[in-house]
Amino acid sequence: MALITPALDSAPVRSARTALPVAAPARSARDTSVDAVRALLLGVVVLLHALMVGVSVAADGSPVLRNAMEGWDGFAPLTWILQIMPLFFVLGGFASYTQWTRQRARGATAGAYVAGRVRRLLLPAAGAIVASAVLLAGLVVAGVPAEIVATAGFRISQPLWFLGVYLGCSALVPMMVRLHERHRIATFAALAAGVVAVDIVRGASGLAGIGLLNMAFVWLLLQQLGFAVADGSLDRLRRGTLLAVAAGAVGVAAVLILTGAAPSNLIDALNPPMVILVVAGVTQTALFLVLRPRLRVVAAGARTSAVISWVNARAMTIYSWHMLVVIVLAGILLLSQAALPTPLSAAWWASRPLWFAAVLAAVALVVAVSGRREAARESAVPPLGRGRGAGSAVVGAAGVVTILVTGSSPSGWVVGAALVLAALRLAGAARRPSA
């Protein structure tokens, strides 16, 4: 969960073969519908991860920490509402297009843009990563069973896949925007062909590793769709057309699931990402465009606007810290020696509203105390070359991947944290994040 953007209202539709002027300015008006949906999607991510954490005590008195949704048949249909990452990347593409075209119009270089994105994404994440490494090391020293430490490290690390992928997509924004402006249709076609080809080869060969190529194809394709939303290319589509597109995409998804080409659980389609996520992204984007006028009205309220602004201003901070907060709360429950209901039991479901409220309150408190804003402090950073910006993105992504691969081990977190801090130094971050 990438995540705040100035928005675009409308723009002339340009030919896919027509290159835009290099310094074409982006429109400056914010689109409150985009801000509202991004805040809502972030809330869904936090609550989904809170729902998946199941804590209980085994018959022998040993603590149990597991994914509560494993084995629940009702979770698969629920993922059609909760799997919002496709729309997250579409709106992330909207944000990136707006930010880069605006900075480009002011004379910014691609290297400066990429370094700025690295700072914006990693400054909030670095504090949470360092804190997680310290926590896991502390659990080991305290004699907590290795299985619990490994499970906690794994659970905390899992949401960081988004940070790694979004960092990579952000680093490619200047190039992908140029392709969008000059070869729009060809770029969409090439990325879509890549997604389909990878799924076909993976299904035919049984080699799951091939599917990792779609970490690039799927998310870059959805980012490009966000570019099309941002530049106004889709503004001419009428409500009826958009609803037809959404219905058609749902039909395609049904065929994919019924033929076994895609799982019915859309969370399972994340690793590696599959073509059904693109189909879901098309559905979500079409429905977003249909609801956009109404969303702007809802977001215009004073209180609603204040909440949206607060969440969006701290989006990466919330995303980076929320899983650590959830795991800490789960640990407190285990240490409390209270009678814990068995996950998925009636008593467990009845306790979920209170659990969600505790998670939201704790996340809000941690974010307020951490005091981290996502916006990079550009005025304090000297100009950086393309190589340094790209290098910071590569080192940062390496740090995140290290944590994802070795997240069950505290030492993996330490190495990952060191790489993230090194990436921030390369990107020109003046201050070290505090844990």
Q: Could you read off the pLDDT tens digit of each residue along the chain, which spans 435 residues?
A: 333 333 333 333 333 333 444 444 444 457 899 999 999 999 999 999 999 988 887 777 777 778 889 878 889 999 999 999 999 999 999 999 999 999 999 998 898 899 989 988 998 899 999 999 999 999 899 888 888 889 889 989 988 999 999 999 999 999 999 999 999 999 999 999 999 999 999 999 888 889 999 999 999 999 999 999 999 999 989 999 999 999 999 999 999 999 999 999 999 999 899 999 999 999 999 999 999 999 999 999 899 999 999 999 899 999 999 999 999 999 888 888 778 888 999 999 999 999 999 999 999 999 988 865 444 444 445 555 567 778 899 999 999 999 999 988 999 999 999 999 999 988 876 544 444
pLDDT at position 19, please? 40
pLDDT at position 379, please? 45
Closest by Cα among 49, 42, 46 to 4: 42
Could you give the 3-state DSSP secondary structure of residue 239? Answer: helix
Task: For strands 63-67 and 53-57, give the pairing.
Answer: antiparallel
Q: Is the dihedral of CA 310, 316, 318, 321 positive or negative?
A: negative
In b/e form, how buried is each residue of 392-420, taking b as 16+ CB within 10 angstroms? bbbbbbbbbebbbebbbbbebbbbbbbbb
pLDDT at position 386, please? 61
User: Do 114 and 307 meet the contact criterion of CB atoms below 8 Å apart?
Assistant: no
List, in sequence order, the alpha helices (H) in 302-345.
Answer: 302-313, 315-335
Q: How many Cα atoms sit within 13 Å of 55 on the Cβ side?
A: 24
Instruction: Spell out the long-range contacts of 412-420 with Cβ–Cβ below 8 A and sequence spacing 24 or more.
Output: 412/153, 413/129, 413/132, 413/133, 413/136, 413/137, 413/153, 413/157, 414/133, 414/137, 416/129, 416/133, 417/126, 417/129, 417/130, 417/133, 419/395, 420/122, 420/125, 420/126, 420/129, 420/396
| pTM for this prediction | 0.85
pLDDT at position 404, please? 92
pLDDT at position 426, please? 87
Indicate the residue type of 34: V
